Structure 1
């Protein structure tokens, strides 16, 4: 596990974007696993800058997002499809048909999860999976539990997760209660995993995930079993590692 501690917001974002850009430069047809949330926003902004400078292209790449809320259509401003379009896809040369996000409005959510699992299998191995980290140790929407699922599946969101995401909605009542997410097994199949975390409030969970026991009570701890993980943190998040 390679841990990179950055000293500024700019360096944090440039480091993450640089790792992704280097992959695209060496393998233009790379398969990227992407994440949403506040952590990767600056990374995506930097990737857009690199694209506009002519340093990187997404034209031959394909992407597969970790998760999507159940009940939100793609045109809902808090859906993860909308997020990805606004924060990255609409500003680079990636082909829309090469971007994939689970369907949040399938009449049968279980079928949507199974369809996404089949899509991932057909795509082949993800070259790089980008991850953020929840305060309770979740990655994607894999919440602490007695057991963890491997393939994409439906998950009931932990109340702390819903509370953390309520800032993006008018009230917590509007935050969906369920989502479709890649499972831990799907995530661990990636050739390389890029975990990014910043802020004092992530210091304890980063230490638990990377240095504590491997347990379903902290889903991110299973990253310890992967042979190629790069962790990018700022000084505050990385104070205990």
Structure 2
């Protein structure tokens, strides 16, 4: 595991954008795993700007997102499909058919989760997976107690996660209580992982991830077993 420190959220986002940009421009074909939420927002802004200024052709890039809320259609303004188009896909020249997210509105969610893992396998697996981390050390929507062997699955969101995501909705009651999430086993199959953590509220989760016991009670602790993880953070007093 490698640790890169940043003085603030802006610098963290810029450093992350540089890592992803270098991966894109240094590859003939790339499967990029993407995250949503507030942590990577500025990274996407910097990345889109760098790609456009350099006139980078993205026809060789395929993206797979970590998760989607159950019950929200891709057109719903609170869906991660909408978020990704708004914040990144519509700002760059990536072919939309190369962008993949779970379908949270699928009639058969079990079939959808199996098909999502099969699709990732057919693409050849994820080359670089971008992650955030929750206050309870969840990655994607894998809450404490999730099996380390899990593939893409339907998750019951904890009250902590619902409260953390309520700021994106008009009221807490509007936050979906379930999501389709890439599993911990699927995430661990990525060849490289880039994890971003910003703000003092994530300090304990990050410490537990890096130095704590490897346990399903701390989902992100599984990353200690991954051979190629880079953490970029603006949190002080975090060391390897």
Structure 1 match to 2:107: 107
Quote the offset at 1:208 in angstroms.
0.6
Measure, in 1, the Cα distance between the counterparts of 2:61 and 2:99. 9
Measure the CA separation in 1 of the matches of 2:214 and 2:143.
Answer: 14
Structure 1 position 130 matched with structure 2 position 134? no
Helix, strand or coil: the match of 1:154?
Answer: strand
Unaligned runs of 5+ residues in structure 2 are none
| Superposition deviation, residue 122 in structure 1 | 0.9
CA distance in structure 2 between the partners assigned to 1:63 and 1:143 by the alignment: 23
Which residues of structure 1 form unaligned runs of 5+? none
- Matched-pair contact (CA < 8 Å) for 2:146–2:219: no
| Cα deviation 1:93-139 (Å, max 9, x = unaligned) | 10000000000111111111111111111111211000000000100
Q: Quick one: distance in 2 between partners of 1:164 and 1:52? A: 33
1:12-161 to structure 2, matched below 5 A, reads 12-54=12-54, 56-145=56-145, 147-161=147-161
Q: State the distance in 2 between where 1:172 and 1:222 align.
A: 30
Say which SS state the counterpart of residue 111 (structure 1) adopts.
helix
Matched, 1:201 2:205: no
Cα deviation for residue 146 of structure 1 reads 6.2
1:173 alignment partner, SS class: helix
Residues 4-62 of structure 1, C-alpha deviations (whole Å, 9 max, x = no match): 00113332111100000001111042110000000100000001110221164422100
State the aligned residue count. Answer: 239
SS in 1 for 2:223: helix
Question: In structure 2, what is the equivalent of residue 165 of structure 1?
Answer: 165
**Structure 1 partner of 2:237:** 239
- 1:60 and 1:50 map into 2 onto residues whose CA distance is 17
